[in-house]
Amino acid sequence: MKASDLLVQCLENEGVDYIFGIPGEETLDLTDSLSRSKIKFIVTRHEQSAAFMADVYGRLTHRPGVCLSTLGPGATNLITGVADAHLDRAPLVAITGQAGLEKTHKEAHQYLNIVEAFRQFTKWNSSVTRADFIPEIVSKAFEIARDRPGATHIELPEDIAAEQTNKVPLVKKPSSRIRMPDEDELQRSAKLIEAAEMPVILAGNGVIREDASEELRKFVRSTGIPVVTTFMGKGAFPADDEHYMGSMGVKDRDHIMCGFARADLVICIGFDHVEYSPRFWNPDGSKNIIHIHSDQHEVDEKYIPDLSLVGNIRISLKHLLPFCKRREMPEYFSKVRKNMEKELLEFKDDTSFPMKPQKIIYDIRQALDREDIIISDVGAHKLWIGRLYPAYEPNTVQISNGLASMGFALPGAIAAKLLRPERKVVTIAGDGGFLMNVQELETAVRLGCDIVIVIFDDAKFGLIEWHEKKKFDASFGIDFLNPDFVKLAESFGAHGIRIEKAEDFSPQLENALKAGGVWLMDVRVDYSENMKLTEKLNNNFCDI
């Protein structure tokens, strides 16, 4: 058979159901093979978007999402989305075309050494230099992306794609790599927990990545130890549980840090350093730490665990629980939680316009059920979502965190709706980030997606203004002009709404969610709240 046919068969063998991408001259054989496959090829309008879609696919399914591009500029356009998956540990396999092998030793049209370029953004990558190597290369790429969550990359030169081969996909056999914690490790961890007066759990992305949310909930409710999540860990523990103290990720001294200021033991469960540097919550390196993760900890002077339970997080928590005793949550931690709840409700009845970011987030939360999904782009709104948006179930809040890439939200929402059509999906983006991948409005309309896009409109890069004002008490280079977002949406075949007063936002959002289709809501936002928050946190730190 043709090598490209074999590659597609290998992808089917790995359970691939979607490939997101853009075809090119050097992938003609591969797209021809895909035309006869049960795999659905989702044509996007930019390769970066294709990678973001594969990224979110991997987060929601825990199976590698697949994206495709041609050589040269198509491949380099994938890099941002691939790097996003790499830093946020989302399983992803990128496939790129390439010129024929006869061009690889000399200067040639559109030829770049893509394998070398992708190496720093992937767990592993390789070029296919013989058709017979395809089964092993595909199997390895998927195994690494899945078992060491992150991105891998396969390059397929166009002359290799047309080669003939007698090889077939490798037989898939179930395997288990679960490391069981030994009893000594468990007893020592339990003793350290028992000796602590004010222990706190820090739950990160790894809890969601490993489907360990249920075990975390049992552990917290049985031990009475309060829990804080990272932004990427939102939903790993329900925000309406009395043991939940909030999510942390803001570099200012947030109220959640009041809990950490008092904590003498931090039990880090599935916490990745890229989520929130330990220097913010353990600045003097004095806290005792228990590291519960599938990987060894990152070397960091502010993160030196006293004990590590390295292995499957679900198994570790399940076996640790019987060794731990029940305790009452300290009243101080309950006050931290009440402060968080108070802030969420503070602007629920606010009718000022432009709208307060807190009010927009409150109204969005009220419109969605527990398992509905929001996709956050990157900007000032992301910090408000991270701090205030209550998440109740895992994988219901998707954020580009490690790379923090603008343009993530709209492509991510399309992938989320394809995978979870029964759930409401709302995208929240700033005007700057939204316009970075606005072309995917056409993709969403073409695919018949039911999504609502809420734009925080301030005609500037609001997050940068926030940082500039904190550092220099002035801002520079952040202003721009926006298009008419309503007309822009309509030109793509979507629905556009401009919110003129705060009282209209909630009913218009409810209507859009019920009506179906692609809706864009242009909402003017009052980002003077950004500096007010900074002043509040600095002046009232731990005033509980």
Q: Cα 530 vs. chain centroid, distance in angstroms?
A: 23
Helices 357-367 and 380-388: crossing angle in degrees, nearest 10, is 60
| SS3 category, 100 | coil
Q: What is the pLDDT of residues 353-379, one digit of tens each?
A: 999 999 999 999 999 999 999 999 999
Average pLDDT over residues 446-467: 94
Q: What is the pLDDT of residues 176-217, one digit of tens each?
A: 666 778 888 999 999 999 999 999 999 999 999 999 999 999
CATH topology of domain 346-539: Rossmann fold (3.40.50)
> What is the structure's pLDDT at 220?
97
The residue whose two tokens read 């890229």 is 274
Residue with the bigger pLDDT between 262 and 175: it is 262
Q: 466 falls in which pLDDT band (50, 70, 90)? A: confident
Give the bridge partners for 199, in sequence order.
Answer: 265
Tokens of 470: 């904190």
Q: 423 falls in which pLDDT band (50, 70, 90)? A: very high
Average pLDDT over residues 509-521: 98
Q: What is the pLDDT of residues 303-352, one digit of tens each?
A: 999 999 999 999 999 999 999 999 888 888 888 888 878 888 899 999 99
Average pLDDT over residues 450-458: 97
Helices 462-472 and 380-388: crossing angle in degrees, nearest 10, is 90
CATH topology of domain 183-336: Rossmann fold (3.40.50)
- Spatial distance between the Cα atoms of 134 and 4, rounded to a whole number of angstroms: 9
- Spatial distance between the Cα atoms of 18 and 57, rounded to a whole number of angstroms: 9
Q: 384 falls in which pLDDT band (50, 70, 90)? A: very high
> What is the structure's pLDDT at 14?
97
> What is the structure's pLDDT at 105?
65
Tokens of 166: 């007698």
> What is the structure's pLDDT at 218?
97
Q: Does domain 3-161 have CATH number 3.40.50.970?
A: yes
Mean pLDDT of the chain: 93
Q: What is the pLDDT of residues 28-51, one digit of tens each?
A: 999 999 999 999 999 999 999 999
Q: 262 falls in which pLDDT band (50, 70, 90)? A: confident
Average pLDDT over residues 396-411: 96
- Spatial distance between the Cα atoms of 249 and 12, rounded to a whole number of angstroms: 39
Tell me which long-range contacts 329-333 makes (C-beta under 8 A, separation of at least 24): 329/224, 329/225, 329/226, 329/242, 329/243, 330/197, 330/198, 330/262, 332/198, 332/259, 332/262, 332/544, 333/198, 333/200, 333/226, 333/245, 333/259, 333/262
- Spatial distance between the Cα atoms of 415 and 20, rounded to a whole number of angstroms: 9
Q: What is the pLDDT of residues 105-130, one digit of tens each?
A: 656 666 679 999 999 999 999 999 99
| SS3 category, 501 | coil
- Spatial distance between the Cα atoms of 428 and 368, rounded to a whole number of angstroms: 13
Give the bridge partners for 65, in sequence order.
Answer: 92
> What is the structure's pLDDT at 261?
81
CATH 3.40.50.970 in the chain: give the residue spans.
Answer: 3-161, 346-539
Average pLDDT over residues 421-431: 97
> What is the structure's pLDDT at 544?
59
Q: Classify residue 170 as exposed, middle or buried by CB count within 10 Å of its CB (0-12, 13-18, 19+).
A: middle
CB 109 within 8 A of CB 148: no
Contacts of 120 (CB under 8 A, 6+ apart): none
- What Rg value do the Cα atoms of the chain yield, rounded? 24
Average pLDDT over residues 255-284: 87
| SS3 category, 132 | helix
Alpha-carbon dihedral sign for residues 265, 266, 269, 274: negative
542 pLDDT above the threshold of 60: no
CB 47 within 8 A of CB 95: no
CB 521 within 8 A of CB 454: yes
81 pLDDT above the threshold of 70: yes
